Chains A and B, each alone.
Chain A
Amino acid sequence: MLLLLSPARVSSVCVDEALEGAATSSAELVAYFILDTTISEELKKRIHDMGFLGDAPSDDFMKAMRREHELQGREQLERIGALAAERGIRFRSEFVVGDFLTSSLAAAEREHPEAIFVSRRERTVISRLMEGSAVRELEVSAPCEVLVHDEDDGLE
């Protein structure tokens, strides 16, 4: 079973579902934390173009944000590993930096999972309409079933 996580996709419900799935199938659970560079680059662009923050403070901010996301990602993987150990589930984790969709498909290609567990990050409806959804594209392109937990608030 493949569990996909990123800074914006952190659902504990999704983690529980992945652990349950692995336990039920007696399968190994492989968790990938993808440090999604698209989000940080978009944010840097936004504060640079909209907030007119200079290059140096924008870069400093982005480094601080990535450090925080990396720290959170590694802590999450450790926590999931501990939960898996408690339940006697074989567990392996990987930490990857890159675009979420590309990295997810590469992970699926490498691991040949029975199923992929991922959460759809919380966004407004307008944002989803205008910018599309990486998770929807993953559902279409993945080589196996994709089980999506929706964190969406359904905000209008």
Chain B
Amino acid sequence: MKRRRVLSILIALVICAGIMLAPTPDGLTREGQNAIAIFGLCFVLWVANSLPLSVTSLFAIVLLPTLRVIPAARSFALFGSPVVFFILGAFILAAAMMRSGLSTRLALAFLRRFGGSPGQLLAGVVFSGGFLAFWMPSHAVAALLFPIVLEIVHALELRPNRSGYGRALLLALAWGAVIGGVATFLGGARNPLALGILQEHYDETIGFLQWMIAVAPFAIALMVLAYFVLSRACGIEIDDVSAARRALDVKARELGPLTNREKGVAAIMVLTIGAWIVAGQNMGLASISLLAAVSLFVFDLIDWQSVEEYVNWGVILMYGGAIAIATALHESGGAAWIAEVAITRLSGLPPFVMFLVFALAASFLTEAISNVAAVALFLPIAFGIAEGSGLSPIPVVFAVAVPAGLAFALPMGTPPNAIAYSAGYYRLRDSVILGAVLKLAAIGLLALAAKLYWPLLGIDI
């Protein structure tokens, strides 16, 4: 592990230095060349995961002014983008949901509603994960569902790596959370990050409700597909899930009645979502997010120690740095130059095909690196390519951000996959093969949505 870490850091530094020291190609500025060098360094470090993601971002924020790509004031100002504060507020809201137990209660309520048969229970796991990930980070959903799904497999006496149904349930845990996470700005910070990059590049925006209306139906349809893939491919070898129902009932009774704290958190969540929908464009998503976070403290629904325990502050560094890198690539002309090199290979492709190329590229890139890194690195380049091809930026955001959130195949592609895989109920080959099937199905479904549904919403390709 140490060897890999040192090697990957060295490779990243060599790539950065190599790009910087190379003769500057025609059409590329010195700033753009250095931006590409930093981009290369971040790419290697994020793929290899040799430094925490947030530390790589911090490195980039410092390198940008040091290598004279953008001034220091600009680099650090981007670190304070409204998107970063929206994400922070959303994470505090999620912390309140987890700390109060409201998220566990919602998960159990959903599962108990679906527990009539093995097929229903499997669907329940997919949809409870998906539904929760509409409103809180998908990795948090996977972590909270993990002990609940394990209770189910124990109650049904399913054996690791032997039971098809056990395999299906654990994959369902991961996939439900992953799919739900693309539907709104709350399920994964890659979506607001994409929004932030769009705002910096084009001064355009996508509203909370606009995103949800465009993507949630796709996500729901994909959850249905995921259920069918799992139930057919893994097989359901048991007939009766009443033991699982009883286990879920016990867990629900252990929670006790709904507390005032849970009611308060639920109320603030509902009001906040309403405010994002109704007032998001005027007030700004970040302001509403932070007001909601402050409200939690005003009404004594969370304490600061809980926020410290439940929120990972590295998220501020990560997303601030990601926006800084993406913006620097754009403003220095680095992204445009890469796009021009790429365009010579992709020129002549119709906009819809270009859309599919972006979606496929983001979809496979995200298996190798974190979702947010995939968006931060690929979206600026996709914008540059799209400019030359007549594809407008808003569909480009969906083409990159949505597939970048759909890592199904590799356990290390996204935390929900790693969480589910760690239980030992399925093998790597199960994840790779079935994940690849679902991934291709997802791209197909996205293409259908883009062709048939989005034009009705005014999103034209």
Contacts and interface: CB of A to CB of B under 8 A. Distances in A.
B52 interface: yes
Interface string B396-419: 000000000000001010110011
Interface in B1-56: 1, 3-4, 7-8, 48-49, 52-54
A147 B428 CA distance: 23
A130 B49 CA distance: 11
A50 B53 contact: yes
Interface in A65-82: 65, 68-69, 71-72
Interface residues of A, number: 37
B341 interface: no
Contacts of A130: 4, 7-8, 48
B105 to A, nearest CB: 16
B4 A56 contact: no
B248 to A, nearest CB: 16
A46 B147 contact: no
A64 B154 CA distance: 13
Contact of A47 (B314, B410, B415): B415
A58 B98 CA distance: 12
Given A46-B49, A65-B423, A155-B429, A54 B160 contact: no
Contacts of B427: 122, 153
Question: Interface residues of B toward A: which range?
Answer: 35 or more
Contacts of B95: 54
Given A10-B424, A65-B423, A132-B3, A47 B311 contact: no
Interface in B421-450: 422-424, 427-429, 432
Interface string B282-321: 0000000000000000000000001011111011001000
A60 interface: yes
Interface stretch (B136-144, B212-220, B266-274): B136-144
B428 A155 contact: yes
Interface in A108-156: 122-124, 127, 130-132, 153, 155
Contacts of A7: 424
A53 B4 contact: no
Contact of A49 (B54, B189, B424): B54
B415 A46 contact: yes
A98 interface: no
A122 B424 contact: no
Contacts of A48: 312
A72 B49 contact: no
Contacts of A47: 139, 143, 415, 418-419
| Interface residue SS majority, chain A | helix
B61 to A, nearest CB: 17
Contacts of A91: none
B428 A64 contact: no
A57 B144 contact: yes
A51 interface: yes
A49 B161 contact: no
B87 to A, nearest CB: 9
Contacts of B160: 10, 72
A62 B449 CA distance: 38
B412 A46 contact: yes
28 contacts: A40-B422, A47-B139, A47-B419, A49-B49, A50-B49, A50-B53, A50-B415, A52-B137, A52-B318, A53-B140, A53-B143, A55-B309, A57-B140, A57-B143, A58-B143, A61-B143, A61-B146, A61-B419, A64-B147, A68-B150, A72-B160, A122-B427, A122-B428, A122-B429, A123-B428, A124-B410, A130-B7, A132-B1
Given A10-B424, A68-B150, 13 more contacts: A43-B419, A47-B415, A47-B419, A52-B315, A53-B143, A53-B312, A54-B310, A57-B144, A72-B160, A122-B429, A130-B4, A130-B7, A153-B427
Closest 9 CB pairs of A and B: A51-B415, A51-B139, A56-B309, A54-B310, A49-B52, A52-B312, A52-B315, A47-B415, A64-B147
